[in-house]
Amino acid sequence: MTDSVQVRGEPLRSAELPATLPHDAPLTRRMAPPPIPIIALNRMAYGITEADLAHFNSLGNSDEERLAAYVDEQLDPANIDDSDYENRLVNTNWITHNLTTEQLWIDYRRDFAGETNSALPLDELRRLALLRAVYSKRQLQAVMVDFWHNHFNVHGPQFIIRSMIMAYDRDVMVPNAFGNFRTFLEAVGTNVSMLYYLDNYTNSSGGPNENYARELFELHGLGEENYLGAGIRQHEVAGYPDNPVGYVDDDVYEATRCFTGWTLSNSTNNPTIGDTGEFYYRDDWHDRFQKQVLGEYIPANQAPLADGKKVYDLLAGHPGTARYICRKLCRRFISDDPDESLVQAAADVFLAQKDAPDQIAQVLRYILNSAEFRTTFGTKVKRPFEGLAAQLRATNANINLDIGDSDGNTIIYRLDDAGHQLFDWPAPNGYPDVAGYWLNTTSIYKRWRLFNWLMSDRDQDDNFHMDIVGETPTDSTSAEGLTDYWIGRIFGYTLPDAERQEFIDFMAAGYNPTYNLPIATNEETAERLRALVGLMFMSPSFLLR
């Protein structure tokens, strides 16, 4: 690794880089929080835009009032005008985002005619997710869809999943992001992508497969924190049978039996089963004998699907699940180590609203209006995808994400290079959401490469995707004026004097920082302005959220 940053093919010497770049910074820094609107738009959205900041500030007479109004607005996505995003979606050349499960299955999984690319739905979903993060006004929904994709992770490139994951996003993640957790569990468990990823499509009384049941307990529901260890029997668990405090291996084994026969229509040789890729229950595969899960006796010979549905009921209503899910939500929106009192208070809301159709929304409303949300900053970092989306949003960038467009393809490639390729985490636990994982030298360097490439990249008409010069007002073009404008545009709050001065010094390049610079007429000056903005994107302050 070299201490240089490439700008239009010409490296800037390390001596020219501000001292506040991440290689000189602590991993995270506890700092006085910026204004509440900045916290909200860095956490509930993929970074600030001038338009979103102005809208937030129009919602009330105090920051707390405006935050509450913004939370309510974002939790009601159906009433948000999202025409810009929807128009962009319509005008792409994607062809799989509206296909039904059966259409995806026949055209991309089966592909009897041998005419399609089985990975096209995955390729298009990666672009759709970026389009949604950058251009959708339903920002909290976009953030939560990403959260749930990691919570209910499947490995996108895996055979079959790559052809079907578009339906997983559209039919499961988006409609359930703010809904009822119990409903969400079943929607995930009956979707073809999860059925294949965790092998439940093979689970039968004659050949039980515990992969799905294991992860249902360990990652989707109660969480590993409520696993009591090997060798403990169900009746030995504290609170058994009415209120067992956690789960043991026997609960997993018994749940495996409950989900036998939960498979999908995937046989070309059995007209009864069909071949649609949709969920299918095979009664002849189901273990019909009695079971016991989390202290609950499940009698023999129940109605079809009843055993598995009971497992979902038990998991969704367990206090351990409530704490586990709420801890992950607090970790996503507040800090890597959220306060336990807030976690428990949110869990109380989760349990009290366990039958509500908007249960998750009510939990989020509590967390996002909490004092901890308003007063904590600087302990979370933007992962590469989040940083990329924030960079594009801050600069009002215009990116073509059509399949086959070289820029869209390069963005996806460079996200992979930065270690954050969408839907590409192979393990079922999803991408980490803690700062320590992302704050290593390689990750930061690769992130810099991604951001720096995008700063200098042009479209087919030789226009910059991020038109920094065109987006810069002409009323104050001194090094000080340019620095202050772009600090306000990118960060939304005043940086510490020392950090601000380093940016000014870089832009002034040894000259008087109050002189107006010819950014519109001198390419060298325009290049330096682009470099200044690029350095801001590579600074620790931009990394934090």
Q: Kindly state whether residues 91 and 151 are assigned to the same domain.
A: yes
- Evaluate whether residue 443 is within a structural domain: yes
User: Among 18-27, 204-213, 294-303, 321-330, where is mean pLDDT lowest?
Assistant: 18-27
Residues 409 and 298 in one domain: no
Question: Region 132-160: what's the mean pLDDT?
Answer: 98
Residue 170 within any structural domain of the chain: yes
- Average pLDDT for 196-218: 97
Q: Are residues 255 and 288 in the same domain?
A: yes
Q: List, for residues 79-111, the tens digit of each pLDDT value.
A: 999 999 999 999 999 999 999 999 999 999 999
Q: Are residues 399 and 537 in the same domain?
A: yes
State pLDDT tens for residues 180-194: 999 999 999 999 999
Contact 535, 506 (CB under 8 A): yes
167 and 213 inside one domain: no
Whether 173 and 204 map to the same domain: the answer is no
How would you classify the pairing of strands 262-264 and 5-7? Answer: unpaired
401-443: pLDDT as tens digits: 888 777 778 888 889 989 999 999 999 999 999 999 999 898 8
Task: Confirm whether 61 is domain-assigned.
Answer: no
For the cut 50, the answer to whether the pLDDT of residue 10 exceeds it is: no
Nearest CA to 390 among 51, 46, 39, 40?
46
Integer angstrom CA distances of residue 164 from 93, 153, 511 = 19, 14, 58
pLDDT tens-digit profile of 472-487? 999 989 999 999 999 9
Interval 490-526: pLDDT, tens: 999 999 999 999 999 999 999 999 999 999 899 999 9
Average pLDDT across the chain, whole number: 92
Are residues 415 and 476 located together in one domain of the fold?
yes
Are 499 and 528 in the same domain?
Answer: yes
Judge whether 34 lies within some domain.
no
* 155 plus 213 within the same structural domain: no
Query: Across residues 58-68, what is the average pLDDT?
Result: 97
State which residues form the domain around 290.
198-316
Q: Is 224:196 a contact under the CB 8 Å cutoff?
A: no
| pLDDT score for 541 | 93
C-alpha to C-alpha distance for 332 and 382, rounded to whole angstroms: 11
pLDDT value, residue 7 = 32
Choose among 394, 508, 519, 500: nearest CA to 451: 394
Quote the pLDDT of residue 26: 44
Spatial distance between the Cα atoms of 476 and 188, rounded to a whole number of angstroms: 53
* Contact in structure between 67 and 36 (CB atoms under 8 Å): yes
The burial class, CB within 10 Å (0-12 / 13-18 / 19+), for 201 is buried
Which of 316, 344, 370 is the last residue in one of the domains? 316
Asked if 536 and 392 sit in the same domain, the reply is yes
- Position 31 scores a pLDDT of 60
pLDDT tens, residue by residue, 22-44: 333 444 444 678 999 999 999 99
User: What's the token pair of residue 446?
Assistant: 């690769």
> Residue 59: pLDDT above 50?
yes
Mean pLDDT for the stretch of residues 330-351: 98
Q: Is the pLDDT of residue 3 over 70?
A: no
Query: Is residue 191 included in any domain, yes or no?
Result: no
Q: What is the pTM of this model?
A: 0.93
Does residue 147 share a domain with residue 257?
no
DSSP 277-338: SSEEE-GGGS--S-EEETTEEE-SSPPTTHHHHHHHHHHHT-HHHHHHHHHHHHHHHT-SS-
Non-local CB neighbours of 90 within 8 Å, separated by 6+ positions? none
pLDDT digits (tens, 9 = 90+) for 525-543: 999 999 999 999 999 999 9
Q: What is the tally of structural domains in the chain? A: 3
Instruction: Determine the pLDDT at residue 413.
Output: 86
Based on the fold, state whether residues 275 and 227 are members of the same structural domain: yes
